[in-house]
A and B are shown apart, each in its own frame.
Chain A
Amino acid sequence: MDKNPHNTGIRQDLPPPKMHVGVAGWIRKNMLSSPTDVFLTVISVYILYKIVPPLANWAVLDAVFSGDVNHRNECREIAAGACWSVIVARFEQLLYGFYPVHLRWRVNLTFILLFVALIPLLYDQVRGRKYLLWFTLIYPIFAFFMLWGGLGLESVESSKFGGFLLTVLIGVTGIAVSLPLGIALSLGRQSSMPLVRLLSVCYIEFFRGVPLITLLFVASTLLNYFMPPGTYFDLLLRVIIMVILFAAAYIAEVVRGGLAAIPRGQFEAADALGLKYANCMRLIILPQALKISIPGIVNTFIGLYKDTTLVVIVGLLDPLGISGAALADSKWQGLSTELYMFIALGFFISCFAMSRYSLYLERKLDTGHKNQ
């Protein structure tokens, strides 16, 4: 038994003060803890009051969602808010561009299988990962024939590609090809051979030094000069090549940061084990360097994905190009906000998902070296 003289019997615990628990306590702690805090809360509430109700009114409460409306003036007669009918009317175009309607199942199938091909890359604990990786390897060839046709499938010209199909196509191709190219460039920059180093540095500095839009202009106006007379290059292909070259330079810089973080001892240990250069890189250096640079790589990918919108300036019909065409139509003139908001939402969802995935990876791969 307790011999504590102060313990004079069992007493019930008092409930905590009401202002310190529950909703009231939470609000007090997080919104009203000091005079400055109160002031900030008041300002925030005012900002929210100024932004949220008008936006909600415009986008939802006063908006027209019906697909039966065929003119902006009809919209205006029904309600004063957003006229989402333009999205309904152009939805298919925003997704596929002018891809032939009866062949769109091929785009859908390719898109769904893209995720199947991605699964073994994104999660390494999937059952049957080995077989899935084989599928990933042949997927690009499969996608090419599905999208452009050939091998008995009806062929489709690249000029018919458009909308988010184009965005995803350029983005995914750019990401997939620029990663190995970027890694090679970063190794070149670290190389002990002066010429290789010089060339890599020149390449990286050039492509990082100029805006993507000027490179796309080069692709659309100049690339024909550099080819033998009479060669014809698809504009889409030219743009994809430029996007790849551009992204590779950025990836190279990110990976270089990762390589620089590897202690010298790792290189020396690999040499001491008698590993050749290729094996040393593949087995020891790159796994560590890439792990460190994953957040940077994903950020570069997000940037690349967003940059695909620039292709509209050289005349490809990505979602912005499609909305430009819709706005040029007298029926939908002036509805730019609706169209751009919709596209912005599409981009936000995919880019935000990618950045969340990068956070997840960072946590998963963090083996604690950082904090030692």
Chain B
Amino acid sequence: MSNIWTDKKSRQIIIQIFVIVVVLSLFGFFVRNTLNNLELLGREASYSFLFAPSNYDINQHLIEYDSRSTHLRATVVGIINTGLVAFFGIMLATLIGFVAGVSRLSSNFLVNRIAYVFVEFSRNVPILLWILLWHGLIVHNMPHPKQAMAVYDFAFLTNRGIYIPKPLLEPAFWGVAAALAIALAGAYFFSRIAKRKQELTGKQYPVYWVNCSLIVALPLLAFWLLGFPAQLEYPVFKGFNFKGGLVLSPEFIALLIALGVYTGAFIAEIVRSGILAVSHGQTEAAYALGLKPSLAMRMVILPQALRVIVPPMISQYLNLTKNSSLAIAVGYMDIVATIGGISLNQTGRALECMSIVLALYLCISLSISAFMNWYNKRISLVER
């Protein structure tokens, strides 16, 4: 008898059987309880409510939506809103992170200290507090639309949001988009050809300048040739509020700034440690080879620093996306606030709604971490 336990193989089997029995019985316990509870409530788990009218409005929707649309469509609107704030949040956080991270390494005392205070204050205060603080600042301290703060008659800051001109695109604008696509494709091929030529002959082409001018000039040319097929619709003050234009709601702005600043502070630390991780010998070696400082930065230091910076930065992006779920605190209609909030309260189908929310976030996270594994494998150093 004691043999079974002393032998490693049989012991492992016994332990695994024990673990699986415990886990399965726990699951069975939960499932049975859930079924019992649903029966007591007199209903079954069913997702058919998704196709019933939602009966609520969402103030920010990029696709067509009104209160007669289905819960499913409300969910899609929520997903798009989450994506929107996550996308711009990531841009803002990356910008703030790189500026603050490089500033933290500056030899200038003031720049260094300002960045330090900014980073420490941003990341040591809960993100929810930042969201509420910014929301409160906008709603309580910005002027009424009547005394709107105008920025060059272009944008108007009010306590109901920021009003900016809205681009009205005519169908011919597709020509400009096509020109941009062609320019990008051309730039890509030119850089490939230039690289191959350089490898063969050693001759260098001004890739950067040619591509930049190509990408800027071609769409502008198309824009001019097609007779300016886009206009700006300016917001105009009428009655009690601004009409027309594009409005960024206070919720969206508060969320965006809070996510950008909070995550930016974390990215700043990542950037700093990434740059510090490249040993000084690398810089000296690059100079010894006769590289210019700009080339040394681009070809020797940055590639090595990015290897350290990118993986944790992507996981910060993931954190930002997950943190955007706090939107519900200020009433921004994201995934949690639509299907996990109002839909849940209206239909009372907690089980179904929460399972959808969890599944959506799991999809986002797992796909990002799958991408990260792939990326890490690709860039990992092959030693010896």
Contacts and interface: CB of A to CB of B under 8 A. Distances in A.
Interface of A: 30-31, 33, 37, 40-41, 44-45, 47-48, 192-196, 199, 205-206, 208-211, 213-214, 217-218, 221-222, 224-229, 302, 306-307, 309-310, 312-313, 320, 334, 336-337, 340-341, 343-344, 347-348, 351-352, 355
Contacts of A44: 108, 110-111, 114
Contact of B33 (A199, A225, A302, A351): A225
Contacts of A214: 325, 336, 340, 354, 357-358, 361
A341 B326 CA distance: 19
Contact of B328 (A210, A213, A348): A213
A211 B38 contact: no
B237 interface: no
**Which of B109, B120, B124, B366 neighbours the largest number of chain A CB atoms within 10 Å of its CB?**
B124
Given A193-B12, A214-B340, A340-B136, 20 more contacts: A31-B109, A40-B110, A44-B114, A193-B15, A194-B16, A210-B361, A211-B361, A214-B357, A218-B358, A222-B350, A225-B37, A229-B40, A334-B140, A337-B136, A340-B132, A344-B133, A347-B129, A348-B125, A351-B124, A352-B124
Given A337-B136, A340-B129, A347-B124, A221 B361 contact: no
26 contacts: A31-B110, A37-B107, A44-B114, A48-B110, A193-B16, A195-B16, A195-B20, A196-B16, A196-B19, A209-B362, A209-B364, A209-B369, A211-B336, A213-B326, A213-B328, A214-B340, A214-B358, A225-B37, A302-B124, A310-B128, A312-B329, A320-B132, A337-B136, A337-B137, A352-B120, A352-B124
A156 to B, nearest CB: 26
Contacts of B67: none
Given A193-B15, A199-B23, A208-B365, A340 B340 contact: no
Nearest to A194: B16
B106 interface: yes
A340 B12 CA distance: 53
B108 A30 contact: yes
A213 B336 contact: yes
Contacts of A310: 128, 326
B108 A37 contact: yes
A39 to B, nearest CB: 9
A343 B361 contact: no
A139 B60 CA distance: 51
B350 A225 contact: yes
B323 interface: yes
Interface in B287-330: 322-323, 325-326, 328-329
Contacts of A352: 120, 124
Contacts of B357: 214, 217
Contacts of B20: 195
Most A CB atoms within 10 A — which of B111, B136, B140? B136
Contacts of B231: none
Contact of B340 (A208, A217, A306, A351): A217
A40 B111 contact: yes
B121 interface: yes
B138 to A, nearest CB: 10
A336 B16 contact: no
Given A214-B361, A313-B328, A344-B133, A225 B109 contact: no
B2 to A, nearest CB: 15
B13 to A, nearest CB: 9
Contacts of B30: 226
A48 B133 CA distance: 21
Contacts of A312: 128, 329
A224 B33 CA distance: 9
Given A222-B351, A229-B36, A337-B141, A206 B362 contact: yes
B34 interface: yes
A199 B124 CA distance: 34
B167 interface: no
Contact of B114 (A47, A199, A340, A348): A47
A347 B108 contact: no
Interface of B: 12, 15-16, 19-20, 23, 30, 33-34, 36-38, 40, 106-111, 114, 120-121, 124-129, 132-133, 135-137, 140-141, 322-323, 325-326, 328-329, 336, 340, 344, 350-351, 354, 357-358, 361-362, 364-366, 369
A30, A37, A217: residue with the most chain B Cβ atoms closer than 10 Å: A217
Given A208-B365, A213-B336, A33 B107 contact: yes
B33 A229 contact: yes
Contacts of B37: 224-225, 229
Given A225-B350, A227-B33, A337 B128 contact: no
B173 to A, nearest CB: 38
Contacts of A309: 126, 128-129
A101 B283 CA distance: 64
A228 B354 CA distance: 20
Contacts of B323: 211
B128 A320 contact: yes
A127 B329 CA distance: 48
Chain B CB within 10 Å — which of A41, A213, A351, A352 has the most?
Answer: A213
Nearest to A340: B133
A192 B354 contact: no
A340 B121 CA distance: 14
A353 to B, nearest CB: 9
A210 B365 contact: yes
B12 A192 contact: yes
From B344, B357, B364, name the one whose CB has the most chain A CB atoms within 10 angstroms: B357
A227 to B, nearest CB: 6
Contact of A341 (B15, B16, B124, B133): B133
Nearest to A327: B136
Contacts of B107: 30, 33, 37
A257 to B, nearest CB: 11
Contacts of A210: 322, 358, 361-362, 365
A38 B278 CA distance: 27
Contact of B350 (A33, A221, A306, A340): A221
A306 B336 contact: no
A254 to B, nearest CB: 12
A307 B262 CA distance: 13
Nearest to B129: A344
A323 to B, nearest CB: 8
Closest 5 CB pairs of A and B: A336-B136, A209-B365, A44-B110, A351-B124, A30-B109
A218 B369 CA distance: 24
